[in-house]
Structure 1
Amino acid sequence: MGDFVEAALSFPAVIFTFLLAAVLLYWLLVLVGTLDIEIGDLDVGDGLGLGGVPVTVTASVLVVVSWFVTLAGGVVTEGLDLGTVVTVVLGCGVLLVALICGLFAARLVAVPLRRLYAPGGEASRNDFVGRECVIRTGTVTGEFGQAEVTALDGSTAIVQVRQTGEHELAYGNRALIFDHDIDGEFFWVAPA
């Protein structure tokens, strides 16, 4: 156990050992429920193929893999007994390889997870314009009426509707929503 702690606290692994401790503390606090910080998707990872996934996930994978590579690389370079200067230079090379491996692993994790975090976009009342609805009141006039409309996700909503008075719309009739009146908070409909 002493050799493991010594390897984890020696160069180059020591850099990622402290980062690993921070990552473990973060996820432990999230697991316990005391910490509810969600660091969202930042654009800094988009150029590396890490976008679309919370930074906490990709950073955690990057730190864990990089720590493991630096730990293994540090043990190998120490075992070669090449002298202090050469060991430090090789340790810097191990750091670079560890970062590349960590980024590669984070990208491998981010690509399939991206579908889980795909933004659905915010729903808007204008999404109903152009959709068919079913009249749910006895009649629809220029002053009164309600209809049931189905959204793209399959959910339904009862909305206020009005018509110009040219057509008769009664309970159960299908109508087409062709405009949204923002001030009156209703939709204009016509027979479908």
Structure 2
Amino acid sequence: MKEIWNLAISPQVLPLTLLLVPVALYWLLNLLGTLDLDFLDVDIDADGPDGGDSSGGHWFHGALRFVNATDVPLMFVLTVLVILLWACTMIGNVWFDASQSGLTGGLIMGVSLVASVVMTRYVVAPLKPFFRMLRADDEKHPPVVGRTGLVRTAWVDERTGQVEIEMQGAPLLLNAKVATGTLSLPKNTEVIVIAHDADTGIYIVRSISDSIPPQSL
């Protein structure tokens, strides 16, 4: 046990050990009911720093999809990632860095990051149906097919996005996508909800301008 503790506070692992502290505190506060845990309403916007589309936004959304953070609560995914990263780094240092070399420790951390991201994807994947069921139970609202709204993420494409639908009382933020073969819709595009995929809980939308026939001269 002493050896594990000494390794956990060694320079090669200490940053990750410290990272476990806020993660543990977050879950402790939620367990005690002190912190409001609003899992399923996280608004993940892929806008760049200027509020518009960016290559960074595309990369960010792609990374979220890779680790299943678009279907499973983001904080849960991050918790799994941090724990796996810490564990892989610990094991890597035990096996390959007995001398506690800084260079070797840095390489181990880099390899551990890649390995932990891949492992997080597969560890979290079996939980996707469970959280989709929770989301479905949480989204008890009047039918929205046929209603109009606005794109609230940087875009809505064939795989992901969010739209805001005006409802009586408060607007609804829905996970949405466009139909296969349809162009992506940028932020603030006015859309109409045309269908609902019951298996994924995602709504199909299209631009209102595509629904308005051209005026004849």
TM bucket (normalised to shorter chain) is: 0.5 to 0.7
TM-score normalised according to structure 1 size: 0.54
The superposition leaves residues 90-129 of structure 1 with CA deviations (integer Å, 9 ceiling, x where unpaired) of: 111111121122212221133222222335467435669x
User: Counterparts of 1:145-156 in structure 2 under 5 Å?
Assistant: none
Quick one: distance in 2 between partners of 1:99 and 1:41? 25
Identity %: 27
Q: Could you say which residue in structure 1 is the equivalent of 2:3?
A: 3
RMSD: 2.8
Q: Amino acid of the residue matched to residue 124 of structure 1?
A: P
**8 Å Cα contact 1:19-1:63 kept in structure 2:** yes
In the TM superposition, residue 63 of structure 1 has moved relative to its aligned partner by 0.5
Work out which of the residue numbers 92, 97, 115 in structure 1 matches 2:129.
115
Work out which of the residue numbers 92, 96, 118 in structure 2 matches 1:104.
118
The superposition leaves residues 112-171 of structure 1 with CA deviations (integer Å, 9 ceiling, x where unpaired) of: 22222335467435669xxxxxxxxxxxxxxxxxxxxxxxx9xxxxxxxxxxxxxxxxxx
Is residue 2:66 matched to residue 1:48? Answer: yes
Q: Amino acid of the residue matched to residue 17 of structure 1?
A: T
> Structure 1 37/93 Cα, relative in aligned 2: closer, same or farther at 3 Å?
same
In the TM superposition, residue 47 of structure 1 has moved relative to its aligned partner by 4.1
In the TM superposition, residue 78 of structure 1 has moved relative to its aligned partner by 3.6
> Structure 1 41/74 Cα, relative in aligned 2: closer, same or farther at 3 Å?
farther
Question: If you compute each CA radius of gyration, which structure gives the higher value, 1 or 2?
Answer: 1
Quick one: distance in 1 between partners of 2:7 and 2:43? 34
User: Counterparts of 1:5-84 in structure 2 under 5 Å?
Assistant: 5-38=5-38, 40=42, 42=44, 44=60, 45-50=63-68, 51-79=70-98, 81=99
Q: Amino acid of the residue matched to residue 115 of structure 1?
A: P
> Structure 1 125/37 Cα, relative in aligned 2: closer, same or farther at 3 Å?
closer
Q: What count of residue pairs does the alignment treat as equivalent?
A: 124
**8 Å Cα contact 1:41-1:52 kept in structure 2:** no
TM-score normalised according to structure 2 size: 0.49
Structure 2, unaligned runs of 5 or more: 47-59, 147-197, 199-217
**8 Å Cα contact 1:58-1:109 kept in structure 2:** no
Q: Amino acid of the residue matched to residue 61 of structure 1?
A: V
Structure 1 stretches of 4+ moved >6 Å: none
Structure 1, unaligned runs of 5 or more: 129-152, 154-192
User: Counterparts of 1:129-144 in structure 2 under 5 Å?
Assistant: none
Quick one: distance in 1 between partners of 2:12 and 2:67? 26
**8 Å Cα contact 1:41-1:55 kept in structure 2:** no
In the TM superposition, residue 35 of structure 1 has moved relative to its aligned partner by 1.6
Q: Could you say which residue in structure 2 is the equivalent of 1:124?
A: 142
